[in-house]
Amino acid sequence: MKSRILGLFSILLLVSCKVKDNVKNDLNYMQNIEQVAIESSAKNSGNTVQIGDQLVILITAKDMDVVRPFNQNYSSSELIQTNNVLAGGNMPNQGMTTSSGPTYIVDNNGNIDFPVIGTISTTDKTLIEVKNELREKVSQYVINPTVSVRLTNFKITVLGEVNRQGDYTITNGQATILNALGLAGDLTGYGKRTDVLVIRTENGTVTHGKINLQDANLINSPFFNLKQGDAIIVQSTKAKEIASRQNPNTGLYLTAISIGVTAIAVVIGLFSKK
């Protein structure tokens, strides 16, 4: 009898350890990172300006009176508030930071109407390219101008099995899917790490892709670097469905049974010594 109980207890212990090992492995990200070459992430990292983007553009110089015509209808007292979230951070939206300057909304033709210079096309251009073009054009009128271009409405949405669902604003206009999941507090224990959906709307066209967080090849996916308006949806595992159908006290029952089996084994061991 004693040997049977001890045997049963040993089996329960082994099964418990095995389950824990499997869970641990399933939660690891980018498990094959050592074998994966980073091929295309660099070329995908430059997000282009999209229709409807809100650009804060400020021209400065040693003599601010000289650049005043390029900052029409703007005074230093105007402040545009944006959520204090930087790509690479792992905290939720907390506090506010400020970006100052006139705001330009990219029209349906991909253009902005800039003072003195006129129409500037942003189609297929990154923020850096727009900034360089503006600096070149303003330099025709001003010596050594400084041009600041910021995107104030770069938002992403994270839904599903994450710890903090919601919308997040990225103030510098650059983020990866890992940044987004970090902002959302990572996946829950029920999050399906092998099947994360990214839905993208770009210039009116909706596309989607799936990412396996356990496979380091996600670095080379066109959905690794996020774009304005991307939605990340984390599916739940089968374990979540099974758990939702179980009695909420099942875990307590199993713990009680385990303790009971251990107690019985100890008592039998004491009596056998007598």
39 and 1 co-located in one domain: no
Specify the number of domains making up the chain.
3
Candidates 79, 223, 102; CA nearest to 156 is 223
Q: Distance (Å, rounded) from C-alpha 218 to C-alpha 154?
A: 22
What is the pLDDT tens value at each position of the chain, 274 positions in all?
555 555 555 555 554 554 444 444 555 665 655 556 555 444 445 678 888 899 999 999 999 899 999 998 665 444 444 333 444 443 444 334 445 778 999 999 999 999 999 999 999 898 999 999 999 999 999 999 999 998 888 899 999 999 999 999 887 778 899 999 999 999 998 999 999 999 998 777 899 999 999 988 888 899 999 988 999 999 998 876 666 666 666 666 667 777 766 767 666 666 665 5
Q: Residue 247, SS3?
A: coil
Residue 244 lies in a domain: no
65 and 124 co-located in one domain: yes
Q: Name the one residue in this structure whose structure tokens are 């991307």.
A: 230
Residue 233 lies in a domain: yes
67 and 138 co-located in one domain: yes
90 and 39 co-located in one domain: no
Residue 230 lies in a domain: yes
Q: What is the pLDDT of residue 261?
A: 67
Residue 72 lies in a domain: yes
Q: What is the pLDDT of residue 257?
A: 73
Which CATH number does the domain housing residue 205 bear? 3.10.560.10
Tell how far CA 239 is from the center of its chain.
Answer: 24
Pull the structure tokens for residue 84: 């204090």
Residue type, 226: L
Check: CB of residue 67 under 8 Å from CB of residue 59.
Answer: yes
The DSSP secondary-structure symbol of 38 reads: -
Residue 251 lies in a domain: no
Residue 259 lies in a domain: no
Q: Is the pTM of this model over 0.85?
A: no
Pull the structure tokens for residue 36: 């994966």
Q: What is the pLDDT of residue 74?
A: 64
Give the structural domain span for 221: 29-45+154-238
144 and 172 co-located in one domain: no
List of residues 6+ apart from 215 with CB closer than 8 A: 30, 31, 32, 36, 194
Sign of the C-alpha dihedral, residues 137, 141, 146, 148? negative
Residue 63 lies in a domain: yes
